[in-house]
Amino acid sequence: MSAPDPTAPTISLIDVASYLPENRVPAEYFAQFAESDDLAGNLMFRAPKFRHHAAPDETSTDMIERAMMPLLDRHGSEMLDDVDILITHSQLPELPVVGCGGEVAHRLGIKPETVIDVHNGGCASFIHMMKLAQQLMIASGARKALIVNAQNSAGQVFVQDQVRGKPQAAIPGDGASVGLLELSGSSPVLAVTCRTYGEYAGDMTSVSTPQRKYWEAGPGQIHVGFTEAKISKVLARGNRLVPEVAYDVADKIGVRPSELDWFITNQPNRIFLRNWRDAMELPETRHPDTFEECGNLFGVGVPLTLDTAVSDGRIQSGDIVMMAAFAHAGDFAGATAVRWGGR
């Protein structure tokens, strides 16, 4: 990957905000349905204490709109007047094909020149969207970009009566996050690395019993097709990919990984969290996570954890924050570093 162009305009991540649904679900909810399963003892599926589930009628757009409220409170509604770019990612789009971008723009009352829905970024989608926004802003001269994530599958897919007893069901949680980028140097994005590993793109599959395509009607309820062999591959890839992209960004900005102020990752499980900070030679105190309260928030995990650590005062103005994540079974990974400018 090439080094950042020193002559390019500076893009800043000005602020982040997030939302968690009211329904706070304890691990005991899933324990009562637990089935005897070959994967029940696997380290990948050691459940967090809590996770939040979206209400049955709560959509991605609803959660994104609620995540926007703190941002609007801090910056005023005029913040939206010059948003030229809107990029969205929903883990489970309610509308087939088109995603939620158009509805989000309408709900927020904005008419950006560019609206993009991304689907391949997965748990690394916040970083993916930051890179896309940065490139589009530099190329077009756009003043502001809004990037939004919604994770809405926990309370819809993983509570189905054929799924909730499986070890995988207790791990995900729901929520939403938003990030505001602008053309300025106040909270600069120092570098971004994104990598695609197409050879792994088909490894995260959906299954049901009896088997059917996810869009076909039938009695079997769709869930993720985990096997011991697939889990071993995902663990090996994830352990490698996140430190790789983080080290690449650290090299670009001339900072030793162990000297980073903060390291924020996606949060599939405790094993990955421990292995990643060990690989970066960082203590647990500099690797915030929200796993015990929120579970695996997929693409929302990185920005919501950033928001949490800023809101509780851990992350201060001037701190270098490294964000890194991998997606699905390892087909995509990304990292970015920001010198946080404060709120």
Domain count, the chain: 2
Whether residues 266 and 132 share a domain: the answer is no
Computed from CA positions of residues 235, 241, 244, 246, in that sequence, does the dihedral angle turn out positive or negative?
A: negative
- Asked if residue 203 is part of any domain, the answer here is no
Helices then strands, each counted (H, E), the chain:
8, 13
The CA-atom distances, in angstroms, between 40 and each of 168, 170, 231, 292 are: 9, 11, 12, 19
Q: What are phi and psi of 134, to 5 degrees?
A: -60, -45
- Asked if residue 56 is part of any domain, the answer here is yes
Return per-residue pLDDT of the chain as tens, 343 residues. Answer: 445 566 778 999 999 999 999 999 999 999 999 987 766 667 788 999 999 999 999 999 999 999 999 999 999 999 999 999 999 999 999 988 888 999 999 999 999 999 999 988 999 999 999 999 999 999 999 999 999 999 999 999 999 999 999 999 999 999 999 999 999 999 999 999 999 999 999 998 999 999 999 889 999 999 998 888 888 999 999 999 999 999 999 999 999 999 999 999 999 999 999 999 999 999 999 999 999 999 999 999 999 999 999 999 999 999 999 999 999 999 999 999 999 999 9
The CA-atom distances, in angstroms, between 182 and each of 9, 82, 143, 224, 248 are: 10, 10, 6, 37, 24
Whether residues 165 and 231 share a domain: the answer is no
How do strand 262-265 and strand 320-327 relate by DSSP bridges? Answer: parallel
- Asked if residue 174 is part of any domain, the answer here is yes
Say if CB 295 and CB 174 are below 8 A apart.
no
- Asked if residue 285 is part of any domain, the answer here is yes
Domain range enclosing 86: 11-186
Whether residues 143 and 25 share a domain: the answer is yes
- Asked if residue 204 is part of any domain, the answer here is no
- Asked if residue 216 is part of any domain, the answer here is no
d(Cα 164, Cα 223) in Å, to the nearest integer?
Answer: 10
Whether residues 245 and 146 share a domain: the answer is no
Whether residues 49 and 123 share a domain: the answer is yes
pLDDT in tens, 160-183: 999 999 999 999 999 999 999 999
Q: What is the pLDDT of residue 294?
A: 98
Of 157, 186, 215, the one marking the end of a domain is 186
Whether residues 234 and 319 share a domain: the answer is yes
- Asked if residue 182 is part of any domain, the answer here is yes
Whether residues 182 and 291 share a domain: the answer is no
- Which residues in 155-192 are b (16+ Cβ under 10 Å) and which e? bbbbbeeebbbbbbbbbbbbbbbbbbbbbeeebbbbbb
Q: What is the pLDDT of residue 36?
A: 74
Element (H, E) at 85: strand 83-90
Whether residues 227 and 319 share a domain: the answer is yes
Task: Give the other-Cβ count within 10 Å of 23's Cβ.
Answer: 15
d(Cα 278, Cα 265) in Å, to the nearest integer?
Answer: 13
The CA-atom distances, in angstroms, between 310 and each of 14, 17, 60, 210 are: 12, 10, 24, 46
- Asked if residue 111 is part of any domain, the answer here is yes
Task: Give the other-Cβ count within 10 Å of 121's Cβ.
Answer: 24
Whether residues 244 and 140 share a domain: the answer is no
Q: Which of 205, 177, 204 is nearest to 71 (CA)?
A: 177
Whether residues 46 and 91 share a domain: the answer is yes
Q: What is the pLDDT of residue 1?
A: 45
Of 131, 158, 186, the one marking the end of a domain is 186
Q: What is the pLDDT of residue 3?
A: 54
Identify the CATH number of the domain in which residue 179 sits: 3.40.47.10
Whether residues 138 and 254 share a domain: the answer is no
Whether residues 90 and 21 share a domain: the answer is yes
